[in-house]
Structure 1
Amino acid sequence: MYLDDDGSIDFRLLDLNGEILFSNVIPVQCAERIKFIWDNLEYELYRLDQYGDWQLEIAEAVVSITEGSYAYSIIALDEAGNESNTTVGSIEVDLTLPVLSNIQASPEVFCPLRDFDGTSIVSSDCSEVASYTLNIYDQDDGIFWSHTQGSNPNFSFEWNGAGNYGEYKSDYYTFTYEIIAEDLAGNSTTSSRYEVTSNRCPSYVSYIHADPDPFSWRAHGETQFCYMLSYDNLMVSIFVMCGNEIAKTVQDEVLQDRGEYSVGWVGDYDEGFNGPIDEVNGRLYDQIWMYRISAYDPRGGSQANSSSTILLDSTPPYVVSRPVEVDNLTMTAIVEYNVPEKASVEVTVRDEDDNLVEVVFSDDVNGGDFVAEWTGNQVGVLYHFKIVAVDRSLNEAMRETESFSFN
């Protein structure tokens, strides 16, 4: 404020009953600019110097007041003490700090640059209307990203993981963040630090599995490696591994976009692989094999690797049986047999033309020794037992006993 003549300014603060709580008369020269700052702790007077800078002249303690509404008046006095102008108004004193609650980042771990889960929403509730500043710090406690938001009852900001210059942290990186709230009266609150993690490393491949597993090249022909990519423009390879050595390159550096894919494998191996193999059939040996998918963005970034195992089982569950024992008195036939592994087993009795006479047993069994018993009602007819076992890989084995009859 300023006067157009030499004189003074009387600044007064009053309660709503008109009682003067504070008054100060300041001498002012013509056209001299002054300003008052009062923060409930002290009263400060500044004068504008010839260089355009505000210079502090007075800093006095004032009577502390409580929250509420107050009136003020600014009275201009000439050198004779006459009132030449009076400005009046009201002011609301707010000393209550805003309270932040329900601070969260959702999700707390997100994957920048991905079509889904590519951002994290940092949000907070507030006890009153305020303006907000979100500061996100790197692991060196430097501000990686800062965002200011205007007056709102609550705070919400969707962060894409980029820094103040558009840069991204690589791989798996945990940031800390804080929210600063300042109400309309200038009271401010700074929250505690919370964590949010940017994960740019493993999400190229959402999943991979083999179907069927266990797998028999005799029964199925091939198994399918089924997988899903989360990004576009990925170079994808799939290998069957023998320790750290590649036994079979199923797919080598194929450029693919986001989506679901499958590629078949018949159980074979690469030329030059000297691990456990069935040379006669050109297949890998029956055992558990590890397979691995590798994906990377040729434009840059880390390579994602994911692996699992598959049981290659192309050996039928060979059934062994003992000679049939026949009791002519009771017209009962008994056969003892062995199944070497877990399998679905069916035991039937058939005539000499292989027509079904009766199903004696049909169920899943664990490997071991078993007994099948059948009672007939005709003499002089040739019968035999047929035992069929199908394992988890759908390999099938069949055993027929010698013929027998009741006399």
Structure 2
Amino acid sequence: MRAGQLPRWADYGLMPAINVVAAFLVSGLVVLLIGENPVEAVRILVWGALGWNEGIGFTLFYATNFIFTGLAVAVAFHAGLFNIGGEGQAYLGGLGVALACLALDRFVPWWVTLPVAVAGAAAAGALWALVPAYLQARRGSHVVITTIMFNFIAASLMVYLLVNVMAKTGSMQPETRTFEAGGRLPLLQSILPGVDFGSAPVNLSFVLALLSCVLVWVLIWRTRLGYEIRTFGASPGAAVYAGISPVRITIVTMLISGGLAGMMAINEIMGSQHRLLIEFVSGYGFVGIAVALMGRAHPVGIVLAAILFGILYQGGAELAFEMPAITRDMIVVIQGLVILFAGALEHMFRPLLLRLFGIIAAPASKPA
């Protein structure tokens, strides 16, 4: 361990755990202030997410969305880029999925539609990230600002398309027609014998999300492109000196990031809603930022962080039902505290840990 640096297990495991515990302690104080028992609230939250089969199914369903958006943010992180446009890229990914399903669902089975839908989602998400990537690479426009603006443009574009172009005939709802069997992913419980998730919509896209984690790990840590991405993120000057093109790395990385965000729509559109509708993203793109931060931009950490936020989403719904004094707004506050401690306050406990590990390592470093 170098001076001023935590061991890898502490940096990737202990620090996120301390941040989560701190967030829950502060949340417990908030629950106490409104007159409820924080221990009982935690029990209900954990039971609602993990205590029964249907709760586990919903937890995994939400986690699937967070895995995709977390991977999208993480890939950009490795290149020193902050892609905050996951919402818009996932929105456009939904358009790619819907076009594939609407074109094929009546003619072919789902397993033929799926590769086309995945390609459509990734291509649409990547395309939506292309313009911010180009502006960053060629014009110096900061990618944070441009991707935020593109979120709003994507939302307006989807409203226009669903109201004026793709709306179901005879319906006043801003949504497409419902997909036939060829445009619907099978539920996970129909694939895994003996597994029953009740009415939870967790589907085959969960497996696709785990496969994406493996592919991202291979890309970032086992390929030349991944090495160039990490080098550029660590030191742009050194990357240029080594002959790595900043323009190419910026654009390619953002395309991959946007494609991963777009693939989130597979879970929602083809796996659950079975139609394209307004607001299906529901903030998953922004939560992906916290997932990537908490998971240290590593696929394994992202899976664990995504499951944690899945627990908060599903368990929070049960908590709001069982304890009416704890409203959905309170659940959002708890989620916000986790994001706060995982992001903005992530380094609050680091100096203390560094001193602690320095004290532990000091005797071993003294000469005999």
The TM-score by the shorter chain falls in which range? under 0.3
TM-score after normalising by structure 2: 0.17
Larger strand proportion, structure 1 or 2?
Answer: 1
Structure showing greater Rg = 1
- Higher RCO structure, 1 or 2 (CA under 8 Å, sep 6+): 2
TM-score after normalising by structure 1: 0.16
